């Protein structure tokens, strides 16, 4: 979101445009608490027009996360 300059309110509006109703506060809470479902994550990636990630990059990210 920060790379794209998207705030939670903007994200909420983009999700609403594809039929997903999530308030900005609800999205903020889910992100901060780490309780977002895979379906919502994929919908967010869609509306943010995220670039594809290949398996090697994903493995690197997961390795970095497990280091903490």
- Per-residue pLDDT of 35-61, as tens digits, reads 999 899 999 999 999 888 888 888 888
Whether the predicted model's global pTM rises above the 0.85 cut: no
If one compares 66 and 11, the residue with the highest pLDDT of the two is 11
Token readout for 17 is: 């445009």
Contact (CB, 8 A) for 8 and 27: yes
Q: SS3 sequence, the chain?
A: CCCCCCCHHHHHHHHHHCCCCCCHHHHHHHHHHCCCCHHHHHHHHHHCCCCCCCHHHHHHHHHHHHCC
């Amino acid at each position: 979101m920060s790379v794209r300059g998207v705030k939670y309110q903007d994200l909420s509006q983009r999700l609403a445009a594809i039929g997903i109703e999530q308030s900005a506060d609800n999205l903020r809470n889910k992100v901060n608490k780490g309780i977002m479902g895979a379906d919502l994550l994929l919908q967010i990636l869609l509306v943010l027009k995220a670039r594809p990630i290949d398996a090697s990059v994903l493995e690197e990210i997961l390795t970095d996360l497990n280091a903490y």
